[in-house]
C-alpha cells in the first residue's frame, strides 16, 4: 500500500514539475476545427476532440433523429465501418437547430444507437448554427458556410484542414464523398 501511495505521489509531483508546454502538447498539435472537449451523447464522459480525431480523416455531421435524412445514419455507420481501420472516423453532433431533434438525450441516443446501430462517436446535443453554435461548427461555418439543414457533412483531413463540405442531399456513401475520403487516406 505504501509503495502504491509513494508511486502515486511521485507521478503527481512529476506532473507538477512538467512544463506547461509539455502538459498541453496534445492540444498544441491540433489544428483546425476539431479542438476542445465535447461531452458524449447521453453520458458524462467528455472527449478531447483532438485526441479522438488526430491523424484521422474525419467526417463531421450534424444529425437529427426526426428528419427525413435520419436514415443516413445507416450510410454513415457503413462508411465508418468500411474505413475506420484505415485512419478514418465519423463524429456526429445531434442538433435541434432545425427543430427536428428530440429534447431528451435518451430519445436521441435510442434513435442513434438502438434504431440505427451507430458505433461512431456521437457528441451531446448542441446548436450548429447561429451565435450559440458549437465551436466546431462555428469554425467550419467560417470556412465553408453553416449547415443548411440536418446531415450536412464536413470532411476534414488528418491535419485538421477542411477538404470539402457536402449538403444533406449528398448521401454518406456517395462517390463524391468516398472518392475524397480515399484520396485523403492515400
Q: What is the pLDDT along the chain (186 residues), one digit of tens a residue?
A: 443 333 333 333 333 333 333 334 334 478 899 999 999 999 999 999 999 999 999 999 999 999 999 999 999 999 999 999 999 999 999 999 999 999 999 999 999 999 999 999 999 999 999 999 999 999 999 999 999 999 999 999 999 999 999 999 999 999 999 999 999 999
Supply the residues annotated as catalytic: 67
Q: Taking the alpha carbons of 137, 166, 172, 53 in that order, is the dihedral positive or negative?
A: negative
* Predicted local distance difference test score (pLDDT) of residue 140: 98
For 68, 100, 170, the CA distances from 71, given in Å and listed in that order, are 7, 14, 12
On whether residue 20 sits in a domain, the answer given is no
Q: At what angle do helices 72-83 and 175-185 cross, to 10 degrees?
A: 20
Answer whether residue 149 is part of any domain. Answer: yes
Q: Is residue 126 domain-resident?
A: yes
| Pairing of the two strands 88-94 and 57-63 | parallel
Query: What does the pLDDT read at residue 70?
Result: 98
Question: Does residue 27 form part of some domain?
Answer: no
**d(C-alpha 113, C-alpha 136), whole Å:** 23
Any domain includes 4: no
What is the value of pTM for the model shown? 0.85
Number of domains in the chain: 1
Q: What is the CATH number of the domain that holds 133?
A: 3.40.30.10
How far CA 171 is from CA of 100, 166, 177, 178, in Å, comes to 19, 9, 8, 10
Domain membership of residue 2 (yes or no) is no
In a domain, 6, yes or no: no
For residues 152 and 167, the answer to whether their CB atoms sit within 8 Å is: yes
Q: Is 52 left (phi over 0), alpha (psi -120 to 50) or beta?
A: alpha
**Residue 24, domain member (yes or no):** no
| DSSP of 36-92 | SEEEBTTSS-EEEHHHHHTTSEEEEEEE-TTSTTTTHHHHHHHHHHHHGGGTEEEEE
Chain-centroid distance of CA 78 in Å reads 16
pLDDT of residue 31: 85
Give the range of the structural domain holding residue 138, as residue numbers without chain letter. 35-185
Amino acid at each position: 500500500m505504501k509503495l502504491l501511495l509513494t508511486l502515486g505521489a511521485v507521478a503527481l509531483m512529476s506532473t507538477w514539475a512538467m512544463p506547461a508546454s509539455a502538459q498541453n502538447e496534445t492540444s498544441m498539435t491540433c489544428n483546425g476545427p476539431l479542438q476542445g472537449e465535447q461531452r458524449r451523447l447521453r453520458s458524462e464522459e467528455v472527449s478531447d476532440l483532438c485526441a479522438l480525431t488526430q491523424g484521422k480523416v474525419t467526417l463531421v455531421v450534424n444529425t437529427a433523429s426526426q428528419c427525413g435524412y435520419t436514415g443516413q445514419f445507416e450510410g454513415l455507420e457503413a462508411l465508418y465501418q468500411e474505413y475506420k481501420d484505415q485512419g478514418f472516423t465519423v463524429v456526429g453532433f445531434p442538433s435541434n437547430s432545425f427543430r427536428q431533434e428530440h429534447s431528451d438525450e435518451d430519445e436521441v441516443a435510442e434513435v442513434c444507437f438502438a434504431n440505427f446501430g451507430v458505433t461512431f462517436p456521437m457528441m451531446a446535443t448542441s446548436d450548429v448554427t447561429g451565435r450559440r453554435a458549437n465551436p466546431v461548427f462555428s469554425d467550419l461555418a467560417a470556412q465553408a458556410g453553416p449547415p443548411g439543414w440536418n446531415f450536412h457533412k464536413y470532411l476534414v483531413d488528418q491535419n485538421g484542414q477542411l477538404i470539402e463540405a457536402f449538403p444533406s442531399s449528398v448521401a454518406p456513401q456517395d462517390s463524391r464523398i468516398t472518392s475524397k475520403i480515399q484520396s485523403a487516406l492515400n
